[in-house]
């Protein structure tokens, strides 16, 4: 069994309050030890709880398993090592646990979508631990509250990373319980705030390494490091907008672009991808080429091109420009492994495949890009710029201009504004499409 690091004073005090509180919320920055702490408390109480059935959940089933059952080697499976087994309970994923007071069943459920609340109906849960609670659906969280009402010792645990102050989780859930706690000190609401300095397993060197991936003053620094409920506002990449020189490269001076006497790259890219955002109705069709060096560590946006604005999508013109751009890029840089157009337009994707096949070019590697949370994309690029892992060819003037103009949406905090001024969103989308299918590897590779 792996033993977690000692608790910080704040973690210890929070743990003590959990013993007498029914609703326990651990919020704060990344790497603050919230999962390990909440899992430790949940497991210790499970040992003697009188109820047989309990629940762990997250935005998805996989998230619940990763954050609670595994939890970097300190999860429920580790705590009950030799006394538990994964299985099914009424066709639902679960863990059977042998405790000091008999066998317990811990159901595992996803709760990120409307309708997921149906997955947890029919049972009374003694305790429930929901990770990344503010990413889950309101109906799911409400059902969790309802399904624990008749518990012999009601305990609900939430952990979460901060959102903007007006997020529904704060206004529709926490605000009520905070008010009740203020009216009655014995109400049973327990709140703890933690940052990476509370994580006693991290060395000073590890903390410095994490801090180096963030730019001070950004919304991500305030949320992930300081654990604040920060609102995103104004220009997204302000440092880039003020001076993008540190984020540019020239092929003549960048050592990654050394060529032999035949003009071939000496340093072969690990991967080459192309992103395409389709235009029409005031939008511009944009093409962006991305080179990956040293796995996912050094990224270079090498080329850009576009079609002029048109009121409708001109399939023939788009296919013609695609073939021209593809041939040019492949001749200059090497085999293009994937082409990722906007997945929303299956008709245009099929047209590109047909055009590529007729031109004798690879066509099976043309597929709609995978989608992810729009709010996650700026954070990834901020990390890449701050660590020097992503640079743009100086000649990509339109993409450079677009990234410098990108603003936060004042009505939807955390995502870029979609006014598309100067077609900045068209270029931003094409750039994102080059990376979305591999974004988890890019985020993990922070050497």
Could you give phi then psi for residue 165, rounded to 5 degrees? Answer: -60, -30
Tell me which residue of 404, 423, 406 sits closest to 415, measured CA to CA. Answer: 406
Alpha helices in 193-247 (DSSP H): 204-211, 219-220, 238-242
Of the candidates 291, 269, 276, the residue with the CA atom closest to the CA atom of residue 355: 276
Q: How far is CA 166 from CA 25, 174, 224, 232, 300, in A?
A: 17, 11, 18, 12, 37
- Distance from chain centroid for Cα 378: 10
- Please give the Cα distance from 139 to 230 (Å, whole number): 25
Looking up tokens 């709140």 gives 191
258 burial via Cβ count (<10 Å: 0-12, 13-18, 19+): exposed
d(CA 145, CA 167): 19
pLDDT per residue rounded down to tens, the chain (447 residues): 788 889 999 999 999 999 999 999 999 998 899 999 999 999 999 999 999 999 999 999 999 999 999 998 999 999 999 999 999 999 999 999 999 999 999 999 999 999 999 999 989 999 999 999 999 999 999 999 999 999 999 999 999 999 888 889 999 999 999 999 999 999 999 999 999 999 998 899 989 988 988 888 888 899 999 999 987 778 899 889 888 999 999 999 999 999 998 888 999 999 999 999 998 777 899 999 999 999 999 999 999 999 986 667 789 999 999 999 999 999 999 999 999 999 888 999 999 999 999 999 999 999 998 888 888 899 999 999 999 999 999 999 999 999 998 999 887 878 898 877 778 899 999 999 999 999 988 887 544
306 DSSP β-pair partners: 286
pTM listed for this prediction: 0.71
Give me the domains of the chain, ranges plus CATH numbers.
9-203 (3.40.50.300), 232-444 (3.30.420.280)
């Amino acid at each position: 069994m792996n033993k977690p690091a000692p608790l910080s004073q704040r973690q210890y005090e929070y743990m003590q309050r959990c013993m007498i509180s029914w609703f326990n919320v651990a919020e704060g920055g990344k790497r603050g030890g919230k999962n390990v702490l909440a899992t430790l408390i949940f497991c210790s109480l499970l040992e003697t709880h009188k109820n047989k059935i309990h629940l762990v959940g997250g935005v998805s089933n996989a998230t619940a398993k990763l954050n609670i059952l595994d939890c970097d080697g300190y999860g429920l499976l580790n705590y009950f090592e030799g006394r538990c087994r994964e299985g099914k309970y009424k066709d639902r994923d679960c863990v059977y646990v042998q405790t000091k007071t008999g066998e317990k069943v811990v159901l595992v459920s996803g709760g990120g979508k409307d309708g997921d609340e149906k997955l947890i109906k029919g049972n009374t849960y003694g305790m429930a631990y929901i990770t990344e609670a503010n990413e889950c659906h309101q109906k799911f969280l409400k059902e969790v509250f309802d399904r624990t009402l008749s518990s012999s010792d009601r305990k609900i645990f939430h952990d979460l990373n901060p959102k903007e102050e007006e997020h529904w989780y704060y206004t529709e859930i926490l605000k009520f319980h905070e008010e009740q706690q203020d009216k009655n000190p014995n109400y049973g609401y327990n709140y703890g705030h933690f940052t990476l300095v509370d994580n006693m397993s991290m060395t000073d060197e590890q903390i410095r390494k994490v801090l180096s991936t963030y730019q001070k003053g950004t919304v991500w620094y305030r949320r992930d490091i300081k654990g604040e409920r920060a609102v995103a506002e104004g220009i997204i990449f302000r440092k880039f907008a003020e001076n993008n020189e540190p984020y540019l490269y020239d092929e003549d001076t960048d050592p990654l672009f050394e060529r032999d006497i035949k003009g071939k790259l000496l340093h072969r890219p690990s991967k080459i991808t192309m992103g395409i955002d389709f235009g029409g109705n005031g939008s511009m069709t944009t093409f962006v080429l991305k080179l990956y060096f040293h796995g996912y560590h050094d990224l270079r946006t090498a080329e850009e091109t576009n079609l002029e604005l048109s009121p409708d999508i001109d399939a023939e013109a788009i296919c013609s420009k695609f073939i021209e751009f593809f041939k040019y890029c492949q001749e200059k840089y090497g085999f293009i492994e994937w082409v990722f157009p906007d997945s929303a337009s299956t008709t245009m994707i099929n047209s590109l495949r047909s055009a590529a096949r007729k031109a004798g070019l690879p066509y099976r590697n043309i597929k709609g890009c995978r989608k992810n949370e729009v709010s996650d994309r700026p954070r990834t690029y901020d990390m890449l710029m701050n660590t020097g892992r992503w640079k743009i060819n100086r000649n990509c003037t339109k993409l450079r201009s677009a990234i410098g103009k990108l603003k936060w949406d004042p009505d939807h905090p955390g995502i870029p504004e979609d006014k598309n001024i100067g077609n900045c969103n068209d270029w931003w989308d094409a750039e994102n499409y080059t990376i979305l299918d591999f974004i988890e590897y890019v985020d993990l590779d922070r050497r």
